[in-house]
């Protein structure tokens, strides 16, 4: 089948997509966007988290056909050529990146959380952060520096 959608603001069209393929597979193997990760491919780890029409989803659980005509945002779309997104910079500054396999999914989930929280008027508190990121597994960091990174990102994004 043919799939037409928008990825990180650019229109995309791919042919010969097998109906059983996930959005994650299409992004990684057919669109040359391997930034979204494939740690479990069953919706448990969050490493494949992308925006689908502005809502974070596990792209491994989205059938490619369900993305038809929709807008997708991946980790590759967060930074500009010149500078990192504040969430990306905060993860680096806080030391929240070790192996980095969970990072792309966490960056998208964090961006969503912080954006929503700030729109509601306040940076997220610890308990909210833990609840929001409970679907993103990390095996390296023990999560402490991820919490630090989220708070740092929220502080910087609030100041903008």
Partner 1 sequence: MSAPARTPAGAPGHLTGPAGGGIGTDAQRPDGTLKVRGEFAYGSDLWMEDMLWGVTLRSPHPYARIRSIDVGPALAVPGVHAVLTSDDVPGAKAYGLELADQPVLAVDVVRYQGEPVALVAADHPETARAAAARIVVDYEVWEPVTDAIAALGHPRWNAVHEDDAEVTELSRESAHLHPEGNLVRHLKVRTGDPSPTADVVVVNTYEVGMQDQAFLGPESGLAVPAEDGGVELYVATQWLHVDQRQICSALGLPPEQVRLTLAGVGGAFGGREDLSMHVHACLLALRTGRPVKMSYNREESFFGHVHRHPATMRYEHGATRDGDLVYVKAEIYFDGGAYASSTPAVVGNGGTMGIGPYVVPNVHVDCYGAYTNNPPCGAMRGFGSVQTAFAYESQMDALAAALGMDPVELRCRNAMEQGSTAITGQVIDSPAPVVELLRRLEAMPMPDAAPDDLRHMPGGVSNTTHGEGVRRGVGYAVSYKNVAFSEGFDDYSTARVRLEVVGGEPVATVHTAAAEVGQGLVTVEQQIARTELGVDRVVVHPKDTQVGSAGSTSASRQTYVTGGAVKAACEAVRGQVLARAAELTGRPVGELRLFDGAVVGEGLELPLAEVLGDDAVEETLEWRHRPTEAIDPETGQGFAHVQYAFSAHRAVVDVDTELGLVKVVEMACTQDVGKAINPQAVIGQIQGGTAQGLGLAVMEEILIRDGKVQNPSFTDYLIPTILDMPPMRIEVLEYADPHAPYGLRGVGEAPNISSGPAVLAAIRQATGLPLTRVPVRPEHLTGT
Q: Site residues (CB under 8 A) for partner 1?
A: 18, 20, 28-29, 32-42, 44-45, 47, 74-76, 78-79, 84, 88-89, 91-92, 95, 97-104, 107, 127, 129-131, 133-147
Angle at 124 between CA 129 and CA 70, to 5 degrees: 75
Distances in Å between the Cα of 61 and the Cα atoms of 64, 90, 139 are 9, 28, 22
Shortest spacing between CB 29 and partner 1, in angstroms: 7
Tell me whether residue 69 or residue 95 sits nearer to partner 1 (CB atom): 95
How far is Cα of residue 118 from the mean position of the Cα atoms in its chain? 18
**Smallest separation (angstroms) from partner 1 to the CB of 33:** 8
CB nearer partner 1, residue 97 or residue 154:
97
For partner 1, give the closer residue by CB, 69 or 155. Answer: 155
The residue written with tokens 């040359």 in the block is 32
Instruction: Quote the least distance from Cβ 53 to partner 1, whole Å.
Output: 20
In b/e form, how buried is each residue of 106-128, taking b as 16+ CB within 10 angstroms? bbbbbbbbbeebeeeeebbeeee
Shortest spacing between CB 149 and partner 1, in angstroms: 10
78-101 as b/e: b if 16+ CB within 10 A: beeeeeebbbbbbbeebebbeeeb
Nearer to partner 1, 47 or 67 (CB): 47
> Which structure tokens are listed for 57?
């989803």
- Shortest Cβ 21–partner 1 spacing (Å): 8
In the bound state with partner 1, the residue whose beta carbon lies nearer, of 5 and 28, is: 28
């Amino acid at each position: 089948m043919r799939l037409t959608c928008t990825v990180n603001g650019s229109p995309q069209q791919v042919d010969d997509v097998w109906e059983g393929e996930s959005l994650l597979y299409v992004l990684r193997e057919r669109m040359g966007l391997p930034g979204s990760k494939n740690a479990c491919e069953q919706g448990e780890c969050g490493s494949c988290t992308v925006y689908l029409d502005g809502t974070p989803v596990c792209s491994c659980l989205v059938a490619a056909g369900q993305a038809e005509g929709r807008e997708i945002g991946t980790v590759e779309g967060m930074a500009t050529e010149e500078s990192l997104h504040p969430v990306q910079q905060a993860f680096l500054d806080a030391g929240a990146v070790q192996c980095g396999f969970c990072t792309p999914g966490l960056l998208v989930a964090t961006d969503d959380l912080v954006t929503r929280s700030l729109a509601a008027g306040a940076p997220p508190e610890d308990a909210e952060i833990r609840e929001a990121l409970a679907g993103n597994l990390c095996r390296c960091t023990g999560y402490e520096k991820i919490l630090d990174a989220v708070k740092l990102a929220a502080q910087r994004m609030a100041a903008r």
